[in-house]
Amino acid sequence: MSGVTGLGPRTANTYSTVTSKAYVPTNYVAGVGRGAMGFTTRSDIGPARPAPAVMGVGAPGDATSFGQAPAGYVAGRGRGMGDLARFQSETGNNTSAVSGDSDQADYSESNYDEFSGYGGEKLFTTNYEEDDVEADQIYNQVDEAMENRRRRAREQQLLLSQKRAKLGVGAGERPRIADQFIDLKRELATVTAEEWEAIPDVVADHTLKFKQGQNKKDSFMFTPVPDYLIAKPSSDAAPVSSVSASVGGTETSLGGMSSVFGGNQSIISGLAAEARGAALSTRLDKMSDSVSGQTVVDPKGYLTSLNSLKVNSEAEVGDIKKARILLQSVTTTNPKHGPGWIAAARVEEYASKTPQARKIILQGCEMCPDSEDVWLEAARLHPVEVAKSILANAVLHIPTSVKVWLQAAELEQQEARKKAVLRRSLEFVPNSVKLWKAAIELENVSDARIMLARAVECVPHSVEMWLALAKLETHENARKVLNLAREAIPTERATWITAAKLEEAHGNGHLVGRIVEKMIVSLAQYQVVIDREAWLKEAEECELAGAPLTCVAIVRNTVQLGVDPEDRLKTWMDDAEALLAHSPPAKETARAVYAYALEVFPSKRALWQMAAMLEKEFGTPASLESKLKEGVKFCPQAEVLWLMAAKEKWTVEGNVPAARSILLEAFTANPNSEQIWLAAVKLEWENNELVRARLLLQKAREAVKTERTFLKSALLERELEDYEQELRILDEAIAKFPAFAKLYMMAGQAADSGLGQFARARNYYLQGLKMCPNSVPLWGLLIRLEERVKGIVKARPTGELARMKLPANDLVWLECIRLERRAVSKGGSSGKLVESLVARALQECPHSGALWAEEVLSCPRQQQRSKCRDALKKCENDPVVLVAVARVCQKPAKARKWLSRAISLNAKFGDAWIHFYALEYLQLHGKALLVAPEAGEAKEEEDDEDELGDAYIEAGEAAPAAAAALAVPQQGDVLAALADQCAAAQPNKGELWCSVSKETQLRRKDVREVLKTAAGRVLGLTIE
C-alpha cells in the first residue's frame, strides 16, 4: 500500500489536546468560538493588567496581543503547512510529540497537483500489517488481469498500424479490403499449376451462420442443380423413369429426369416445381364433380373466399375461450334463457365453428321452444331446406309469432308457396298488419280488394288498409270506405285529406274546402293538436301528389295556428321563402301562404312585391299581370309595382303603348315620383323617341328637381352631342346640388372631350374638389387632364396633393403609380421612383386588390410567380387579383380556373367576364389570329397551349393589327353560353367594364354586345 498516492490533502489537528493550563491562551473563554455562552471567573481574570501599548504593540502578558506562543505551536500549520512550518520542522521546532499529531506530510502549494492531489507518502506513519499485504496482492492481480485483457487489442492495433504504414494509409482512413489481402496476392505468384488444380471445389457453406442454421433446422444439405441438367429431359424422347403417387384416389405421374454427369447416367426426381404441380392438381381433383367431371369451384369468388378467411390472434382466441366458458355457465344455470343460447351459438360462429354453433342453437330450440328469436337464429345458421323444417317446427310451438311466419314465407322461392304460407299465417294471426300487407302485396287487384275488405274488418285501426282499399274502390265505394275509416279512426287526419283529394280528383273542387274545415273541427273536438309546420308539410305533400286545391285549403285553414298577431306578417313571409327554398320548390303552397297573408295585410307593398316575384319566376305572364293589377289597386303608391307592370308589358310582351298607359296611371297616382318619371324617360329613350324623352326630362326637372333628373338630362344632351346645352343643365344642377360630385365630372368631360376647352374643364374639376375633396374619380380626372395638357411635371404635384388628402385610398395611389409608369415609358421618370411609390402604396394599403393586380401585371415575367403568390396571400378572395393572376398564367386551363373562381366570388365583376370571353375566343380562333414573325416563313411548331397563353397574357400584342381585318369565324357554343351567363348576371363592376359600358355609343347596347366589344379591345381586334 506504500505505492498508493493521491488521496488528497489531510486536515492537520492544529489545536492539540492539552489539559495543562499553562498552554491556555490569555483571555481564552471556552465555547465562545462555536457560539456558546462563555463565562469567566475571578481566577481567570487574575490581577490587574497593565495598560495597552501604543501602536498595537503590547507588553508581555498584554490582553490586546495573544501573548507568547504556547509550547508546540507551529505557525501556519493550520493553513496548509507552508514554508515557515517546513523551516520550523527542519530546525527542530516540531512540537508534534507534544501535540499528539503525527501528520508530517508536505502540504505546501508547490507539492499540490490538481489531478492527483498532494505528492509524497501520506501514510508513512502507518504500520504495514498483514491486511495491507493482502490488499496489495489483490490490487496486483487486478492490474495483471487488466493488462492481459488489453494485450490482444494492443497487438491488433500494432499490426494494423504496421499495415497502415506499409500501405501508406493515414490513421484516420480505413484501408480497402483489396489492400489488406495484397500480401496474399503477392504469394499467389509462387503457386504452381499442380497446386492450383489441387484446390478443392466449395460444395457447401461452412460458415458459423450456416452451421447455426443447420443445427436449428436439422436438415440435410441441398446443392442447386445446374441448368443443363434441368433442360436435359426436354431434349430426350421419353422420360427415363416415372414415379406414381396416389393421393386421395387420384393418380398423378411425376416424370423422371435423366442426366449425364461425368459419363454416368443418374435419375433426378422430386423437383420442387413438379411437386407443387402435383399438389395443386390433387387439390383441383378433389374439388371436381365426381359425376360429370366439371369443376364446382367459382373462379371469381375463389380468391375472395380466401381473403375472407379470418385468422384469429392469440388475444381473440383467449377472449373466445372466456366467452365460451361464460356462456356455457349461462345456459347451464338458466337453460330457459333464449339470448344465452343465441350468444353461445354466435360465439362459435365467430370462431368459424359453424357445426358447433348449429348444435348449440338446436339445443336452445329444445330448451326454449317459446322463444321466436332462438328459432329465427337456428333458421339463419342452417341451409334453406333445413331452415324450412326448423321454422315448420317453430310454428307448431308458437303459431302466433309474426316474425316466424314472415321468415318462413321469405324462405320460399315460389310465389304460390309464399301466398299459401301467408294465408295460413292469417288464420292464426288475423290482427297482424304486417302479415296482411305482405299477403296483399302478392295478390292481383281483384284479390287484393277482397283481402283489403277483410283486412279492414280484422285490423280497423290500420289507416294504410283503409286508404289502400279506398284507392282500389270506385268513387262511390271509396266515399263509403273513407266514411267508415273516419268512424273507426276519428283522430286520424289522413282519412280526411284522402277524402279531399278524392273529391278534387273527380272534379268536385267546391267540396274540398268544406271537407278540410270539417277535419279541423273534428280533430279539435277529439283534442288532436297538430302544429303549423306539420300542416304545411301535409300541404306540400298534397301539392306533390297533384292536389293543389287540397293544398290551398289546408294552408288557408291552418297557417294562422300558433302565431302571435304581431308576428304574423314576418312568420308567413319566412314560411313562404322556406317553401320556395325546398327542392323542388313548393310554389303552390307558398302562393297559398302569400294569398292568405295578402287577405290579412292588403296594404303591405313588400308582401305584394314578393307575391309578384313568385308569379314572375314560377307563374305565367297572365298571372303576373293579374297579381300586379291587384297590387296597385290596394297599394297605388307602390312605385315598384307600377314599374314592374310597365316593364313586363315593354320587355316581355313588347307592347310599348300598354307600358305608356300603365306609366300614365302611375303618374296619376304618384305625380312627384322620381322613379316613375325616369322610367317614362327610359321608355321613350330606348325606343328612340328622343324628343318625347327631352320633354319628359324637362317636366321632371320642374316637378321633381332631383340630382338624377338633371343627370339624365345631361346624358341625353350628350348623346345628342349638344354639349353647350349639357353644360347649361349641369351648371343649373351644380347651383342646386353643389355637393354632387358626378355633376362636376360630367361637366369637365363635356368641356374637355366635347368642346376641347381644357381650362374650363380644369376649373370644373377644381371646383368639384373644393366641394367634394374626397371624390377619387375627380382627382383621377384632374391628374389625367394635367398630364395630357401640361405634362408630367404639372400632373405629379396634383397626385401628391391627392395622396395628402386621401393617404389611405388605394385608388389614388394606383392613379399616381400609373402616372409614373407612363412617365417611365416616355422617358420622363426613372423606374426606381415607380418602385419606391409602389412600396409606399403597398405599405399604406397592404390589402388593396387593385394595387396588387397592378403590380402583378406590370412586373417582369421572371417575378410574376412570386408577385402572384404575395398578392394571393394578402388578397385571397379579391376578384381583381384573381383576374390579374389569370392573365399572367401561361396555361389557359389554369387561367380558366382563376377566372371561374373570380366570377363565383362576384358575378357582378364585369372584368372577369371580359377576360374569360377573350380567353375562350382565343382558344377557339387563336391559330387564325397568331401571325408568323416574318411574312412568307412558317413559324416553328411549339406548344400550342403555351403559345395561346402568351398571346392572351400580352392582351393583344400577340395578335397584330393586321389580324383585325381578318374575317373571324362565328363563335362557338362555348362563347354563346358564356355570353348568356354574363347577361343573366348583369355585371356593373370593374374598371374595364364600366369604361366600355358607359360609352355613349354602347350605353343602350345589350350586355352581350358590351361583352364582345370589351373582349375585342382586350385582344386588339373586332369581334362580330
Residue 676 has pLDDT above 80, yes or no: yes
Confidence of residue 8 (pLDDT cuts 50, 70, 90): very low
Place of cell 305584394: 608
Q: What span, in angstroms and rounded, lies between the C-alpha atoms of 947 and 953? A: 10
Check residues 230 and 429 and name the one with the higher pLDDT: 429
pLDDT tens profile 826-848 = 876 777 888 889 999 999 999 99
Q: Are 447 and 439 in contact (CB under 8 A)?
A: no
Stretch 987-1009: mean pLDDT, rounded? 87
Confidence of residue 898 (pLDDT cuts 50, 70, 90): very high
- Tell me which amino acid residue 1019 is: L
User: Which residue pairs from 418-425 have beta carbons closer than 8 angstroms and sit at least 24 positions apart in sequence?
Assistant: 418/442, 419/443
pLDDT tens profile 945-986 = 333 344 344 333 333 333 333 333 344 588 888 989 999 999
Q: What span, in angstroms and rounded, lies between the C-alpha atoms of 899 and 889? A: 11
Confidence of residue 689 (pLDDT cuts 50, 70, 90): confident
Stretch 885-908: mean pLDDT, rounded? 91
Stretch 587-613: mean pLDDT, rounded? 92
Written as nine digits, the cell of 328 is: 356455457
**CA proximity to 818, closest of 846, 847, 789, 779:** 779
Written as nine digits, the cell of 241 is: 423413369
Stretch 763-791: mean pLDDT, rounded? 91
Q: What span, in angstroms and rounded, lies between the C-alpha atoms of 957 and 979? A: 24
Residue 988 has pLDDT above 60, yes or no: yes
Q: What span, in angstroms and rounded, lies between the C-alpha atoms of 539 and 751? A: 65
Residues 6+ apart with CB under 8 A from 745: 768, 777, 778, 781
- Tell me which amino acid residue 883 is: V
Check residues 191 and 600 and name the one with the higher pLDDT: 600
Residue 196 has pLDDT above 50, yes or no: yes
What's the confidence (pLDDT) of residue 777? 92
Written as nine digits, the cell of 376 is: 329465427
Q: To which H or E segment does residue 6 belong?
A: none
Q: Across the strands, what pairs with 267?
A: 258
- Tell me which amino acid residue 133 is: V
pLDDT tens profile 494-546 = 999 999 999 999 888 889 999 999 999 999 888 888 888 999 999 999 999 99
What is the DSSP-derived secondary structure letter of residue 754? I
Stretch 178-207: mean pLDDT, rounded? 72
What's the confidence (pLDDT) of residue 769? 92
pLDDT tens profile 363-385 = 999 999 999 999 999 999 999 99
| Three-state DSSP class for residue 259 | strand
Total residue length of the chain: 1024
Residue 370: C-alpha distances to residues 337, 366, 375, 427 (Å): 10, 10, 9, 19
Q: What does the mean pLDDT of the chain come to?
A: 77
Task: Give 150: exposed, middle or buried? Use CB within 10 Å, 0-12, 13-18, 19+.
Answer: exposed
- Tell me which amino acid residue 108 is: S
Place of cell 383585325: 964
Q: Are 43 and 106 in contact (CB under 8 A)?
A: no
**SS3 per residue for 364-398:** HHHHCCCCHHHHHHHHHHCCHHHHHHHHHHHHHHC
Helices (H) and strands (E) in the chain, counts: 51, 6
Lowest mean pLDDT among 38-52, 508-522, 711-725: 38-52
Residues 6+ apart with CB under 8 A from 890: 946, 949, 950, 953
Place of cell 270506385: 474
Check residues 540 and 105 and name the one with the higher pLDDT: 540
What residue spans of 198-266 are helical by DSSP H?
A: 208-217, 227-235
Lowest mean pLDDT among 223-232, 465-474, 572-581, 703-712: 223-232
Count CB-CB contacts under 10 A for residue 356.
16
Q: Are 987 and 907 in contact (CB under 8 A)?
A: yes
pLDDT tens profile 633-657 = 999 888 888 988 888 888 888 888 8
Q: What span, in angstroms and rounded, lies between the C-alpha atoms of 442 and 92? A: 136
- Angle CA 848–914–995, to nearest 5: 70
Residue 62 has pLDDT above 50, yes or no: no
**CA proximity to 256, closest of 244, 268, 272:** 268
Greatest mean pLDDT among 23-37, 226-240, 274-288, 331-345? 331-345
| Three-state DSSP class for residue 515 | helix
Place of cell 279539435: 524
What is the DSSP-derived secondary structure letter of residue 491? T
Q: To which H or E segment does residue 260 belong?
A: strand 257-261
Stretch 798-809: mean pLDDT, rounded? 91
**CA proximity to 400, closest of 372, 374, 433, 428:** 428
What's the confidence (pLDDT) of residue 587? 92
Residue 487 has pLDDT above 80, yes or no: yes
pLDDT tens profile 564-596 = 988 999 999 999 999 999 989 999 999 999 999
Stretch 7-21: mean pLDDT, rounded? 43
Q: Are 567 and 559 in contact (CB under 8 A)?
A: no
Q: What span, in angstroms and rounded, lies between the C-alpha atoms of 866 and 358? A: 72
Q: Which residues of 627-645 are buried (b: 16+ CB within 10 A; e: fewer)?
A: bbebbbebbeebbbbbbbb
Residues 6+ apart with CB under 8 A from 444: none
Check residues 149 and 13 and name the one with the higher pLDDT: 149
Check residues 280 and 801 and name the one with the higher pLDDT: 801
What's the confidence (pLDDT) of residue 117? 65
Q: What span, in angstroms and rounded, lies between the C-alpha atoms of 772 and 335? A: 97
Confidence of residue 265 (pLDDT cuts 50, 70, 90): very low
**CA proximity to 431, closest of 397, 405, 460, 408:** 460
Written as nine digits, the cell of 591 is: 302562393
Stretch 596-607: mean pLDDT, rounded? 92
Residue 552 has pLDDT above 90, yes or no: yes
Residues 6+ apart with CB under 8 A from 795: 783, 784, 786, 787, 819
Place of cell 391628374: 783
Lowest mean pLDDT among 71-85, 177-191, 843-857: 71-85
Q: To which H or E segment does residue 50 belong?
A: none
Q: What span, in angstroms and rounded, lies between the C-alpha atoms of 98 and 514? A: 138
Q: What span, in angstroms and rounded, lies between the C-alpha atoms of 376 and 401? A: 11
